[in-house]
Amino acid sequence: MNARLRLLCAVLLSASAAANASDTWRTAHLRGECDAALTEARAAADKGEPEAMLQMSDWHFFGTCLGKDDAESARWALLAAEAGLPRAQVVAGQIYASGLGVTTDPAAARRWYEKAAEAGDAEGMLLLAKMIGAEADPLAQELSLAWARRAADANYPPAYVHLAGQYSGAGRQTDYAEAARWLDKAIVAGYRDNSVWVAWSWACLNLGRYDEVLRAVQQVPKDAPEFKAAQINHAHALLLNGQVGNAREVYAANMTLRGADEFRRILREDLAELRRSGRDHPGMARIEKLFLNKP
């Protein structure tokens, strides 16, 4: 589910929203009664209610109840953001980052993310962390990590996954124990898509927790794009656990899925990283001789 769709669901389905005039248009839209929803929402938006402004933006963005119009969507979202609604400030940042309905403006995107983050919005914190992390400033990585941790402290599962990636090689510091800790939090929180299981299996591989690798890769279905990555991690776990013959079979199956060139590149990179993590095994040389033609 993309960020805008999550935002729409949050606006429409929030059980904690106080009873007010906007409840009428919110309920009408959920029932598919667009005329009633539009009447109520437009009246509330014209009075300056930020939630209603943001709803107008979403309807224009998705083309539901109102025609698809990115410029109008941006205009309403920016009005809601200027009125101080943190969720709208996140959307404003996304609008300027993507150039949907406005001219792309990374500086404006960052300003809106900062406003949302400083107001306590966890998604804004994480988006700000990602934007800062891409900068060349000497303090960028530290500031990015600090904002991501604040998002995680706000119990935002995507921040757990982001932090795990930072500690699995995407950032300056590789620490698979820390990566596994954040992935465990994501899984416990219900964030269990295929990419999380693959990331979890890779962290566990580098920590020597082979039984957990096997349990994780079993969660990835064969028709998923992530299956290739899960399968090669399965082979690595078998190899490092001394089951060289079984590993050969799984490696061969992975080669047929990826193609020989891609498979050999991934195998070479993976084995180098596993050795760097102290996971060397005599069977690795046999696999390299067989699949990489190493003497």
Q: What is the pLDDT of residue 23?
A: 59
The two structure tokens encoding residue 42: 């437009």
Locate 143 and state its tokens.
């500031």
Provide the domain limits for residue 294: 197-295
Establish if 8 belongs to a structural domain.
no
Q: Is 292 within a domain? A: yes
pLDDT tens string, the chain, 295 residues long: the values are 333 333 333 332 332 333 344 456 766 767 778 888 898 899 999 999 999 999 999 999 988 889 999 999 999 999 999 999 999 999 999 999 999 999 999 999 999 999 999 999 999 999 999 999 998 888 899 999 999 999 999 999 999 999 999 999 876 789 999 999 999 999 999 988 999 999 999 999 999 999 999 999 999 999 999 999 999 999 999 999 999 999 999 999 999 999 999 999 999 999 999 999 999 999 999 999 999 987 6
| 141 token code pair | 């990585």
Is 275 within a domain? yes
Whether 58 is in a domain gets the answer: no
In a domain? residue 230: yes
233/199 Cα distance (integer angstroms): 10
Residue 71 belongs to a domain: no
CATH number reported for the structural domain that contains residue 258 in this entry: 1.25.40
User: Is 156 domain-assigned?
Assistant: no
Which phi and psi (to 5°) does residue 182 adopt?
-70, -35
pTM for the whole thing? 0.83
User: What pLDDT score does 256 carry?
Assistant: 97
pLDDT at 27: 67
> What integer pLDDT is reported at residue 5 of this predicted model?
34
Q: pLDDT digit string (tens) for 88-117? A: 999 999 999 999 999 999 999 999 999 999
Q: Is residue 169 part of a domain?
A: no
Q: How many domains does the chain have?
A: 1
Amino acid at 236: H
